[in-house]
Chain A
Amino acid sequence: MQVTIAHLKRGEQGIITDVSSAHIPLKLLEMGCLPGNTVELLQVAPFQDPMYLNINGTHLAIRKETASHILIEKIIHE
Chain B
Amino acid sequence: MSKQINVALIGNPNTGKTSVFNALTGLHQKVGNYPGITVEKKEGICKLPRGVKAHIIDLPGTYSLNASSLDENVVIELLLNKTDKDYPDVAIVVSDVENLKRNLLLFTQIKDLEIPCILVINMSDRMRYKGISLDIDYLEKQLETKIALISTRKNEGIDTLKQLITNYKELSITPCLHASEIDKDYFDRLRQAFPNQLLYKLWLVITQDVNFGKTNRQEIEAIASFKTKSKEDLKRLQQKETIKRYQFINNTLKKGQTIDASQAKGLRANLDRVLTHKVWGYVIFAFILLTIFQAIYDWSSVPMDFIDSTFASLSEWTKNALPAGAFTNLIAEGIIPGLGGIVIFIPQIAFLFLFIAVLEESGYMSRVVFLMDRIMRRFGLSGKSVVPLISGTACAIPAIMATRNIESWKERLITILVTPFTTCAARLPVYLIIIALVIPEGRILGLSYQALTLMLLYLIGFGTAIFSAYLLNKVLKIKNKSFFVVEMPNYKLPLIKNVALTVLEKTKSFVFGAGKIILAISIVLWFLASYGPGENFNNAEEIVKTEYASQNLSEDEINQKVASQKLEHSYIGITGRAIEPVIRPLGYDWKIGIAIVSSFAAREVFVGTLATIYSVGNDEEETIKNKMAKEINPITGGPLFTLASGISLLLFYAFAMQCMSTLAIVKRETNSWKWPTLQLIIMTAIAYIAALIAYQFLK
Point out the residue from A42, A45, A59, A60 that lies within 8 Å of B278, measured CB to CB. Answer: A45
9-residue interface stretch from A1-9, A30-38, A70-78: A30-38
Residue of B99, B482, B484 with highest tally of chain A CB at under 10 A = B484
The answer to whether A34 touches B370 (Cβ under 8 A) is no
Total A-B Cβ pairs within 8 A: 109
Determine the interface band of chain A, counting residues with CB < 8 A from chain B. 20 to 34
Which residue of chain A has its CB nearest to the CB of B487?
A60
A59:B487 contact, CB within 8 angstroms: yes
Residue interface bits A4-25, CB-to-B below 8 A is 1, else 0: 0000000000000001011001
Q: Which residue on chain A has the smallest CB distance to residue B236?
A: A21
Which of A26, A49, A57, A61 has the most chain B CB within a 10 Å cutoff? A61
Inter-subunit contact B374/A35 (CB<8 Å): no
Return B507 CB to nearest CB of chain A, in Å.
31
Whole-angstrom CA separation of A19 from B238 in the bound complex: 13
Instruction: Tell me if B64 and A27 are in contact (CB < 8 A).
Output: yes
- Whether A46 and B374, one on each chain, are in contact in the complex, defined by CB atoms closer than 8 angstroms, is yes
* A-contact 0/1 string along B489-523, CB 8 Å cutoff: 11000000000000000000000000000000000
Q: State in angstroms the CA–CA spacing of A73 and B250 once bound together.
A: 21
Expressed in whole angstroms, the minimum distance between the Cβ of A64 and any Cβ of chain B is 9
Q: Is the CB of A32 within 8 A of B101?
A: yes
Residue numbers in B under 8 Å from A49 (CB-CB): 373-374
Interface residues of A in 36-60 (CB under 8 A from B): 42-43, 45-47, 49-50, 52, 56-60
User: Looking at A19, A49, A50, which has the most chain B CB atoms within 10 Å of its CB?
Assistant: A50
Contact, CB under 8 Å: A50 / B383: yes
Contact A45 B370 (CB under 8 A): yes
> Out of A19, A30, A52, A56, which one reaches B272, CB within 8 Å?
A52
A63: chain B residues within 8 A (beta carbon): 373, 482-484
* In the complex, chain A residues whose CB is within 8 Å of the CB of B407: 25, 27
Residue in B102, B243, B268, B482 with the greatest tally of chain A CB atoms within 10 Å: B102
Contacts A45-B370, A50-B383, A60-B485; A21 near B64 (Cβ below 8 A)? no
Is B409 on the interface with A (CB-CB < 8 A)? no
A11 nearest CB across to chain B (Å) = 11
On whether the beta carbons of B371 and A25 are closer than 8 Å, the reply is: no
* Given the contacts A43-B276, A52-B272, A34 and B242 also touching, CB distance less than 8 Å: yes
Residues of A near B242 (CB, < 8 A) are 26, 29-30, 34
- Cβ of B28 < 8 Å from any Cβ of A? no
Residues of A within 8 A of B370 (CB): 43, 45, 50, 52, 61
B220 sits at the interface (CB 8 A):
no
Chain B: minimal CB distance from A4 (Å)? 16
B 54-87 to A, binary, CB cutoff 8 A, 1 in contact else 0: 0000000001101010000000000000000000
Would A30 and B105 count as touching, CB distance under 8 A?
Answer: yes
Smallest Cβ-Cβ distance to A33: which chain B residue? B485
| Chain B residues positioned under 8 Å from A52 (CB to CB) | 272, 276, 370, 488
Q: A30-B242, A49-B374 are in contact. Are A22 and B232 (CB under 8 A)?
A: yes
| B483 cross-chain contacts in A, Cβ below 8 A | 25, 28, 63, 66
A interface list, Cβ under 8 A from B: 19, 21-22, 25-32, 34-35, 42-43, 45-47, 49-50, 52, 56-63, 65-66
A30-B105, A52-B272, A66-B483 known; 10 other A-B pairs, CB under 8 Å?
A25-B485, A26-B64, A26-B242, A27-B68, A29-B239, A30-B242, A43-B273, A50-B373, A56-B102, A66-B485
Enumerate the 6 nearest inter-chain pairs by beta-carbon distance, A residue then B residue, closest first: A59-B488, A30-B64, A61-B370, A61-B486, A63-B484, A58-B102
Question: B-side interface residues toward A, CB under 8 Å?
Answer: 63-64, 66, 68, 98-99, 101-102, 105, 232, 235-236, 238-239, 242-243, 246, 268-269, 272-273, 276, 278, 366, 369-371, 373-374, 383, 407, 482-490
Q: List 6 A-B contacts (CB under 8 A).
A: A27-B64, A30-B64, A30-B105, A43-B276, A46-B278, A50-B373
